[in-house]
Amino acid sequence: MKRLLQFTAAIGALALSAQLALAGPAVVSGPGADPACFAPWSADTKYMQWEAKPGPYKIAIVNGFVGNTWRIQMIKTAKAFAEDPAIKDKIKEFKVVSTGTDAPAQLGAIEDFINQGFDAIVTIAVSPDGFDRVIRLADKNNVVLVPFDNVLDTDAVMQVNEDQLAMGKTWAEFVLKELAAQGKTSGKVLEVRGLPGNSVDRDRSIGINDTLKASGGTWEVVQVVGNWDDGTAQKVTADAIAVHGKFDAILAQGGTTGVVQAMIDAKHPMVPIAGESENGFRKLVAKHSAEGLKGISIGQSPGLVAIAMKAAVAALEGQVMPQLISVPLPVATYDQLKDGENFWSDLPDNFFTVNEFPPCGVNVSGPAIMSKSEEDVK
């Protein structure tokens, strides 16, 4: 009887062990692997560890919206990085799909890849919530799910991002400083927002508006939706100028080349402007800064996808990883712009200028990125 009980207990322990092995990551003590690359978001960031799997691995990119140049460049960057010698031999199969702005479609695509036996899925979330079901399914199947850029409001998965609140705050601080130098402590500003309904647009806008309010000045903020797209941003900026007249400053989450072009077309005075890292925006700031286009360019790099892919592989290898990985903000102001260094007169306007991450050994070249297609790889 004693032996039977021991045998039963052993079987139970094995079953529990097997269940735990397929229950997603364990929360462990830090530090994590390669902290220069995979920097924890804060001192309070927890660490996670998945059971190591032998490679090479099956990795999928599940994008949502694909209607702007940033997303297109991100997909091209993912394809280029998948062929980089630093990671190529660790990937057995690589797929890319874009599902649009419909959250159920994105969740369905993630579930499909999990059911196909993919080891890791890197995604830009359509919405910051509603992913509990696929997180549970990923954990059940020991699949590493890595949201980046538009991240989730949860600490149940490993995520990669830049600090969007800090980005919005830095934009607003720059604009306030430039306006103060002109003797302006109140006025009317245009905020060109991004794609509605996701965490990046929300957090950047919070950072902008909280900073404006904290300044003590009286600021009239006119908000328009530019979808981080040059064409859309140019149109809504032109419409805003036609309706509201002159603005004292502009803060644009993206599509910034189009925003400046709308100012030029409307013969709007050059004013302090905060924007993204589009090559065209930096060209225009370099050209017109002496006329009053005092600009700051902060890059939310499409190259974040490469860091997310690299983090997914590290997790699959069983390395200890921060739950939230912080990528530093790459900032360039009008007085720091240099052709051939942080913008390129011979590259297209819609090229995003920040794609190298030296601490991670990631440097995907412009020609390598531009040679790829944005089409799905199924």
What does the alpha-carbon distance between residue 197 and residue 359 come to, in Å, rounded to a whole number?
32
Q: Give me the mean pLDDT over the 122-149 stretch.
A: 96
284-306 residue pLDDT tens? 999 999 999 999 999 888 999 99
Q: Which helix (H) or strand (E) holds 191?
A: strand 187-193
Name the 3-class secondary structure at 214: helix
Report the length, in residues, of the chain: 378
Rounded Cα distance, 165 and 45, in Å: 17
pLDDT above 50: residue 15:
no
Position 232 pLDDT exceeds 90: yes
pLDDT at 378: 65
pLDDT digits (tens, 9 = 90+) for 177-203: 999 999 999 999 999 999 998 889 999
Q: Percent of the chain scored above 70 by pLDDT?
A: 94
Query: Tens of pLDDT along 250-288?
Result: 999 999 999 999 999 999 999 999 999 999 999 999 999
Q: Where are the beta strands (DSSP E) in 64-156?
A: 91-98, 120-123, 144-147
Contacts of residue 319, Cβ cutoff 8 Å, sequence gap at least 6: 32, 33, 34, 49
d(CA 76, CA 231): 20
Determine contact, residues 293/5, Cβ cutoff 8 Å.
no
Beta strands in 104-157 (DSSP E): 120-123, 144-147
How many Å apart are CA 138 and CA 22, to the nearest integer?
A: 9
The pLDDT mean for the chain works out to 92
Is pLDDT at 169 greater than 90 in this prediction?
yes
